[in-house]
Amino acid sequence: MNILAIGAHPDDIEFGCAHVLIQEARHGHRVKLLVLSRGEASSNGTTEEREAEARDAAKLIGAEIAFLDFGGDCHMERTPKNAFHLAAEIRQFQPAVVLAPHPDENQHPDHAVVGSLTRDACRFARYAGLDTLKGFALPGTAAHAVAALYFYGITAEFGKPDVVVDISDVVKDWERAMQCHASQMQTRAYADLRLSAARNLGLSMGVEYGAGFYANDPVRVGALSELGLSSRWF
């Protein structure tokens, strides 16, 4: 299975969903990270430093990584052109699962923009008659339907998650991936913030650490019995 994670900035994926990516990479799935800026507007760290930090984190995750130009940090827009660009990337990688920032407004406007762009791009990628994509995609790239799109929080949660994952077995490696972004930890304890949130969610579901995701569409199963465990422990 191919799994694609998209982030607006070099640290978004690490703080928001690297834990499950580490799990999936260990299970033999191909994981790719798409980063849509190099943190040009950041108060700490140069663009070169931030790209290097993200590449180091990708190695720990076990993922491929690519940087795309979507106008730069604080300049991202939800436009058809940008959605077509992202849709072409989806067609080329052909992921079964896509992870993106939650599209609701939060601490950085780029996060919501990229979440909405990704939702648009997943839809556009499946339209075989959309000739506009031919200018972006590699020759011979066919239309592709993503099986599932899930949204993640970066430094904040968005209410009760739709899907929860036990990440207790990879939490140390996740912390190492977050710590790769040392430039961003100069003024904010982001790793501690994310670990504490995962700890609280985990305790609520009866495990050490948990990760929550928000489904773009209802989760489909063949039978109710396939759902198995509930996230509620008390």
Q: How confident is the model at residue 229 (pLDDT cuts 50, 70, 90)?
A: confident
162-193 pLDDT per residue, tens: 999 999 999 999 999 999 999 988 888 999 99
For residues 117-133, average pLDDT: 90
Mean pLDDT taken over the chain: 92
Stated pTM of the model = 0.94
Q: What fold is seen in the domain 2-213?
A: Rossmann fold (3.40.50)
Q: What confidence tens digit (pLDDT) does each residue in 148-167 have?
A: 999 999 988 899 999 999 99
Which residue would you say has higher pLDDT here, 107 or 50?
50
Cα(10)–Cα(66) distance, integer angstroms: 10
Q: Where are the beta strands (DSSP E) in the chain?
A: 2-7, 30-35, 64-67, 97-101, 148-152, 163-166, 210-215
Which sequence spans correspond to the domains of the chain?
2-213
* pLDDT tens-digit readout, 31-86: 999 999 998 888 788 999 999 999 999 999 999 999 999 999 999 999 999 999 99
Q: Which are the contacts of 88, defined by CB distance < 8 A and separation ≥ 6? A: 125, 133, 136, 137, 141
Which residues, listed in sequence order, are joined to residue 2 by a DSSP beta bridge?
30
